[in-house]
Amino acid sequence: MARYDRAITVFSPDGHLFQVEYALEAVRKGNAAVGVRGTDTIVLGVEKKSTAKLQDSRSVRKIVNLDDHIALACAGLKADARVLVNRARIECQSHRLTVEDPVTVEYITRYIAGLQQKYTQSGGVRPFGLSTLIIGFDPYSGAPSLYQTDPSGTFSAWKANATGRNSNSIREFLEKNYKETSGQETVKLAIRALLEVVESGGKNIEVAVMTKEQGLRQLEEAEIDAIVAEIDAEKAAAEAAKKAPSKET
C-alpha cells in the first residue's frame, strides 16, 4: 500500500507539470466540442465520429445533464468523463439536500475543476484526461452561463468556446463571427463553428440546446440536417452576393 502514495504529477526543473500537459494532449486528441452562449439560449455541439454499424448510437450520449438546469459536454477520455459526471451529479443533489437550493453554474464548475485539480496533487493517481464545457442558467437571476474546465483544474467563463480536436480553428472562427444571438441564431452559430472542422451532416454532430423554460433538449438528426441545409444555403447566397457586385462594376 505504501507504494501507491508517491505523486505522479511532479514539477520538472523548468516549472512544468508534464502529466497535466500530457493530459491536455489527450484532450487535443478528443472529439471537437463547442459551446455558444446566447441571450436566452445556450448550445453545446459535439463531433460524433462515425459509429460502427453494429453499435447502438443511442447508448453513446456525449452531452449529458447534471441537473435540470445544467448540462455538460467534454473532450478527452470518455471513461474519465463518466466518473467526473457521476461525482458532479451527486454534488448537484447533495447541494440541493443541504441548502435546499439548486447549484449555480459557477458552483458546480468550481466543484468539477476542484476535483480535477485534486488529482494533480495526490499520490498514486493521474489527472483526468478531459476538458469540460458546462452550460446552464443561474437558478435565481436566469442569466445564461458557459464555463470551461481543463485537466489542470483551471476554469473560466466564456461567451463561446471550443475544446478537443482543432479547437484553435473553431475558436478563431468564433472570435471572428461571434455576436450576441438568441434562439435559433445561437444554434446556427454553434453548428457553423463545428462545421469548420467536422464533415457536414446531421450524423456527424450531436447538438443540444438549453433554454430556461425547457431545460436541455437534444436535437434530432433530421433537425440538425435541416439547420445544416439552411447554413449551406446562406453560405451559397453570400458567395453569390460577393460575385454579383463585382460583375456590375
Partner 1 sequence: MECVFGLVGEGFAVVAADTSAVHSILVHKSNEDKIMVLDSHKLIAASGEPGDRVQFTEYIQKNVALYQFRNGIPLTTAAAANFTRGELATALRKNPYSVNILLAGYDKETGPALYYIDYIATLHKVDKGAFGYGSYFSLSTMDRHYHSRMSVEEAIDLVDKCIVEIRSRLVVAPPNFVIKIVDKDGAREYAWRETVKDSIASSA
- 162 in contact with partner 1 (CB under 8 A): no
Cell of 18: 508534464
Identify the residue among 9, 31, 41, 65 touching partner 1 (CB under 8 A). Answer: 65
Pairwise CA distance, residues 59 & 76, whole Å: 18
- Nearest to residue 184, comparing CAs of 140, 219, 142, 222? 219
Least distance between partner 1 and beta carbon 146 (Å) = 20
- 57 in contact with partner 1 (CB under 8 A): no
Nearest CB to partner 1, comparing residues 68 and 175: 68
Name, in order, each residue with C-beta under 8 angstroms of 219's C-beta and a sequence gap of 6 or more: 187, 207, 208, 209, 227
Identify the residue among 47, 67, 150, 206 touching partner 1 (CB under 8 A). Answer: 67
Q: What's the distance, CA 245 to chain centroid?
A: 40
Least distance between partner 1 and beta carbon 91 (Å) = 10
Nearest CB to partner 1, comparing residues 39 and 94: 94
Pairwise CA distance, residues 197 & 47, whole Å: 9
**246: part of which helix (H) or strand (E)?**
helix 221-248
Identify the residue among 97, 99, 222, 240 touching partner 1 (CB under 8 A). Answer: 97
Nearest CB to partner 1, comparing residues 1 and 97: 97
- 96 in contact with partner 1 (CB under 8 A): yes
Nearest CB to partner 1, comparing residues 65 and 132: 65
Name, in order, each residue with C-beta under 8 angstroms of 37's C-beta and a sequence gap of 6 or more: 135, 144, 145, 146, 158, 159, 160, 186
Least distance between partner 1 and beta carbon 111 (Å) = 15
Handedness of CA 88, 94, 96, 98 (dihedral sign): negative
Least distance between partner 1 and beta carbon 153 (Å) = 24
- x-or-dash pattern for partner 1, window 75-94, by CB under 8 A? -----------x--xx-xxx
Nearest CB to partner 1, comparing residues 94 and 168: 94
Give the dihedral of Cα atoms 130, 135, 136, 137; nearest 10 deg: 140
* 66 phi, psi to nearest 5 deg: -95, -30
Of 131-160, which residues contact partner 1 (CB under 8 A)? Answer: none
What is the contact surface with partner 1 in residues (CB under 8 A)? 61, 65-67, 86, 89-90, 92-94, 96-97
